[in-house]
């Protein structure tokens, strides 16, 4: 008898025997991510079509900073990500003027409605996890990439005041999610990369806030995943975080799934290149890479996915090929 999706994921994280490798892909929904009903319907339809082992709920990255006054616009990016056209931090002093957000209102309130609709559609049958951006990632979108790094190095105390406010807003949103039925969070880290800052800088401006958020997650949330974004991830710096799964650009950054398993005690998620072969390749190439990932991990403590979002124009045939690999009889 097949395992339930929850059973399959729990056994995969623990390294126990499973009926098949868990699988999930996720993507952005440009335009539809601006309204709760549209994002919920797009997410629900995608899951009903492909029957993944969990849903990664993917709002626009601005959902958590719009209520500070940030503005963004989709300009055709194939990833479905939006470009920021208005930042609210111009001077270092502006970090001290941020105020804690009310999670029941504005863009945060709309995201809670998305979660309620997903829960209503699937009940307990499909685990789903909400994307949460790290405070440093949110700060980047509030100030802009270059100005954030400038303030980190020239006005660290003022930036830390802002990071504390962002962290408190995030904690309040997480607390408001308790009643939504989520199984955990997808915690997106964008600055723990050697191409962005030094390890000492991330230890000071990233890690303390990460641990504050992850340490406050409810005990009932059993499936929490960290996404390490970037080409040179500081993997060892987050390998001791209290989470069940790590996802990173394993096909792009040179850190293999097998090596990641040696450094982290939970499950690793990845194995498929989101551009090659998922977007640009053929179903044969997708199946070949997926099988190699399963062999590399021996199918234990492993979830088949891409290292980040798939493109909005990823071929249906390639998504179907991913599902066929895990369903194939050995």
Q: What is the pLDDT of residues 205-218, one digit of tens each?
A: 999 999 999 999 99
| pLDDT of 143 above 80 | yes
The model's confidence at residue 329, banded by pLDDT at 50, 70 and 90, is low
Domains held by the chain: number: 1
Say how far apart CA 135 and CA 132 lie, in whole Å: 9
Encode pLDDT of 258-278 as tens digits: 999 999 999 999 999 999 999
List residues bridging with 62 in a β-sheet. Answer: none
Name the phi and psi angles at 83, rounded to 5: -95, 135
- Concatenating the DSSP letter of every residue in 161-227 gives HHHHHHHHHHHHHHHHGGGGT--EEEEEE-S-BTTTS-HHHHHHHTHHHHHHHHTTS-TT----EEE
The model's confidence at residue 36, banded by pLDDT at 50, 70 and 90, is very high
Share of the chain above pLDDT 90, in %: 98
The model's confidence at residue 75, banded by pLDDT at 50, 70 and 90, is very high
Q: From residue 179, give the alpha-carbon distance in Å to each of 101, 107, 245, 296, 300.
A: 19, 18, 23, 38, 32
Query: In terms of residue numbers, what domain contains 26?
Result: 5-327
| pLDDT of 18 above 70 | yes
Average pLDDT over all residues of the chain: 97
Which pLDDT value is given to residue 330? Answer: 64
Average pLDDT over residues 1-28: 97
Encode pLDDT of 156-204 as tens digits: 999 999 999 999 999 999 999 999 999 999 999 999 999 999 999 999 9
Which pLDDT value is given to residue 162? Answer: 98
Average pLDDT over residues 135-156: 98
Average pLDDT over residues 314-329: 95
Give the CATH number, domain containing residue 37: 3.20.20.210
Average pLDDT over residues 45-66: 98
Average pLDDT over residues 3-25: 97
Average pLDDT over residues 41-60: 98
Say how far apart CA 6 and CA 4 lie, in whole Å: 5
Tokens of 108: 């945060």
On whether the pTM is more than 0.85, the answer is: yes
Which pLDDT value is given to residue 1? Answer: 83
Do 49 and 314 meet the contact criterion of CB atoms below 8 Å apart?
no
Phi/psi region, residue 221 (left: phi>0; alpha: psi -120 to 50; beta: rest), is: beta
The model's confidence at residue 111, banded by pLDDT at 50, 70 and 90, is very high
Which pLDDT value is given to residue 328? Answer: 87
Contacts of 250 (CB under 8 A, 6+ apart): 256, 257, 260, 268, 270, 271, 307
């Amino acid at each position: 008898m097949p395992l339930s999706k929850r059973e399959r994921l729990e056994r995969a994280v623990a390294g126990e025997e499973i009926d098949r490798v868990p699988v999930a892909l996720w993507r952005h929904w440009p335009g539809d991510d601006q309204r709760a009903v549209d994002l919920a319907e797009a997410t629900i339809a995608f899951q009903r079509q492909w029957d993944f082992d969990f849903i990664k709920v993917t709002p626009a990255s601005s959902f958590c900073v719009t209520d500070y006054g940030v503005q963004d616009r989709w300009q055709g990016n194939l990833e479905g990500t939006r470009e920021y056209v208005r930042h609210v931090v111009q001077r270092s002093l502006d970090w001290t003027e941020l105020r804690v957000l009310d999670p029941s209102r504005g863009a945060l309130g709309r995201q809670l409605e998305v979660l309620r609709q997903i829960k209503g559609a699937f009940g307990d049958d499909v685990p789903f996890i909400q994307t949460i951006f790290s405070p440093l990632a949110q700060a980047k979108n509030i100030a802009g990439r270059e100005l954030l790094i400038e303030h980190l190095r020239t006005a660290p105390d003022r930036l830390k005041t802002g990071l504390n406010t962002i962290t408190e807003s995030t904690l309040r949103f997480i607390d408001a999610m308790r009643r939504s039925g989520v199984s955990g969070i997808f915690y997106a880290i964008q600055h723990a990369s050697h191409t962005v800052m030094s390890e000492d800088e991330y230890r000071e401006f990233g890690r303390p806030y990460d641990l504050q958020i992850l340490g406050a997650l409810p005990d009932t949330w059993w499936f929490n995943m960290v996404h390490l974004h970037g080409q040179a991830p500081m993997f060892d710096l987050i390998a001791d975080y209290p989470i069940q799964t790590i996802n990173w650009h394993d096909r792009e950054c040179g850190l293999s799934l097998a090596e990641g398993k040696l450094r982290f005690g939970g499950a690793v998620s990845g194995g498929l290149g989101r551009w090659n072969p998922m977007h640009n390749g053929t179903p044969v190439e997708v199946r070949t890479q997926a099988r190699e990932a399963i062999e590399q991990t021996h199918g234990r403590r492993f979830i088949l996915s891409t290292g980040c979002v798939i493109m909005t124009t990823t071929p249906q045939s390639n998504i179907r090929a991913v599902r066929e690999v895990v369903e194939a009889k050995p």
